[in-house]
């Protein structure tokens, strides 16, 4: 009741004040987190697509990246605030020493907050961006996919594709051209060369033209070295272009087609086993059908053979009662009866003679 009574006493700018406090607190949280909280130019990381469960995707990504990151780069070293070195009280009197100490504490706290992998807001649904620090995303992701391709062991349920992002810039054609001229040099500038393809994907962006972007990037690759050739079936390098809102993410990856377009769900599937299983199942069905057909044919043949006997008996039975004059009637006459009577008369004559 006291709080409700005090609220009217505040000036009309109460809502404006609370909003300002909220904004300041939000900015403070972003600063305390140690780095940007959303995708922006100048970042490196890993772009991950998922299936309607971003929270579970982030958990799986942290688990998978930490597992292989520790394998490649060793365990991550973190320092606690309580364990940070603090200067002696005598140094506090000296201004220069106090400034050095403060700068050191700021650097230590910043390094502590900047983790090796940190999820940031991507700006698109079903897309997660993991910012990386102190590692090479393309090598780490290639190592993960190579191991999963060899072992065929499924380690994720929600993650679909995992694309390394080696650089980001503004999603405008001039900015992309300027950035790509230096970004693509390690792979395509002479004496380096190779076959390539360009994969383009845009999300929540309507001012970029796919054909124009691909044409400009392909022209840049051609100017770096005239021996770079396009290969859409099995290229040596794949230039990945992912545009989300006003940010363009670029990377150059290897074995893009071999690792099923960097899809973690597909790379663990063996292309040989399903076909062999299908062929085996098909052969089994064919053999079963062939055996069934043969058995049916044998049964039919046996049925025919069994039916031939009574047919013969019936024929014999039909021949025997031919002596009956009432069986056949042709032309209103009875020729069989006449023949029988003539035969009977001839037999009687022979008997008399």
Q: Give the span between the Cα atoms of 340 and 323, in whole angstroms.
A: 7
CA distance 57 to 161: 11
H helix runs in the chain, sequence order: 2-6, 14-32, 54-73, 95-113, 137-151, 173-183, 185-188, 210-224, 264-267, 272-319, 335-352
**Mean pLDDT value of segment 9-33:** 52
Q: Are strands 45-50 and 127-132 parallel, antiparallel or unpaired?
A: antiparallel
pLDDT digits (tens, 9 = 90+) for 289-329: 444 454 555 554 454 444 444 444 444 444 444 444 444 44
What distance in Å separates the CA atoms of residue 304 and residue 300, rounded to the nearest whole number? 6
62-108 pLDDT, tens digit per residue, is 999 999 999 999 988 764 444 444 444 444 457 777 777 777 766 65
Length of the chain, in residues: 353
CATH 3.30.1360.170 applies to domain 45-74+98-268: no
- Read off the pLDDT of residues 227-285 as tens digits, 9 standing for 90 and up: 999 999 999 999 999 999 999 999 999 999 999 999 999 999 987 644 444 444 444 44
Per DSSP, the three-state class of 326 is: coil
Q: Give whole-number Cα distances, 299 to 284, 289, 302, 313, 317, in Å.
A: 22, 15, 5, 22, 27
Question: In this structure, what token pair is assigned to residue 73?
Answer: 């780069």
**What pLDDT digit, counting tens, does each position of 156-175 carry?**
999 999 999 999 999 999 99
CA angle 159, 164, 168 (to 5 degrees): 120
Angstrom distance (rounded) from CA 301 to CA 305? 6
**What digits encode the pLDDT tens for the residues 105-141?**
666 555 546 789 999 999 999 999 999 998 999 999 9
Structural domain boundaries in the chain:
45-74+98-268
pLDDT tens digits, one per residue of 183-215:
999 999 999 999 999 999 999 999 999 999 999
């Amino acid at each position: 009741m006291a709080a409700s009574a005090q609220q009217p006493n505040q000036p009309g700018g109460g809502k404006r004040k609370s909003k300002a406090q909220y904004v300041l607190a939000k900015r403070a949280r972003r600063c305390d987190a140690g780095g940007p909280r959303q995708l922006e130019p100048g970042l490196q990381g890993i772009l991950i697509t998922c299936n309607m469960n971003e929270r579970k995707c982030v958990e799986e990504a942290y688990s998978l990246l930490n597992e292989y990151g520790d394998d490649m780069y060793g365990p991550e070293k973190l320092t606690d605030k309580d364990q940070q070195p603090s200067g002696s009280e005598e140094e506090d009197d000296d201004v220069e020493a106090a400034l050095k100490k403060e700068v050191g504490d700021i650097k230590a706290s910043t390094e502590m907050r900047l983790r090796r992998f940190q999820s940031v807001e991507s700006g698109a649904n079903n897309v997660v961006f993991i910012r990386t620090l102190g590692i090479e995303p393309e090598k780490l992701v290639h190592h993960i996919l190579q191991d999963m391709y060899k072992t065929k062991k499924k380690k994720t349920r929600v993650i679909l594709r995992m694309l390394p992002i080696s650089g980001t810039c503004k999603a405008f054609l001039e900015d992309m051209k300027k950035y790509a001229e230096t970004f693509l040099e390690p792979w395509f500038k002479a004496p380096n060369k190779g076959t390539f393809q360009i994969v383009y994907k845009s999300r929540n962006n309507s001012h970029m033209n796919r054909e124009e972007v691909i044409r400009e990037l392909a022209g840049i690759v051609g100017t770096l070295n005239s021996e770079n050739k396009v290969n859409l079936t099995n290229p040596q390098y794949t230039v990945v272009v992912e545009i989300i809102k006003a940010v363009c993410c670029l990377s150059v990856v290897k074995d893009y087609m071999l690792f099923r377009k960097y899809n973690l769900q597909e790379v663990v599937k063996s292309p040989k086993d399903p076909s062999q299983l299908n062929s085996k199942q098909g052969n089994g069905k064919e053999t079963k059908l062939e055996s069934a057909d043969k058995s049916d044919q044998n049964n039919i043949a046996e049925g025919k053979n069994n039916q031939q006997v009574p047919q013969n008996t019936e024929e014999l039975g039909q021949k025997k009662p031919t002596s009956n004059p009432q069986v056949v009637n042709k032309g209103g006459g009875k020729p069989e009866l006449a023949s029988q009577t003539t035969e009977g008369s001839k037999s009687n004559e022979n008997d008399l003679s």
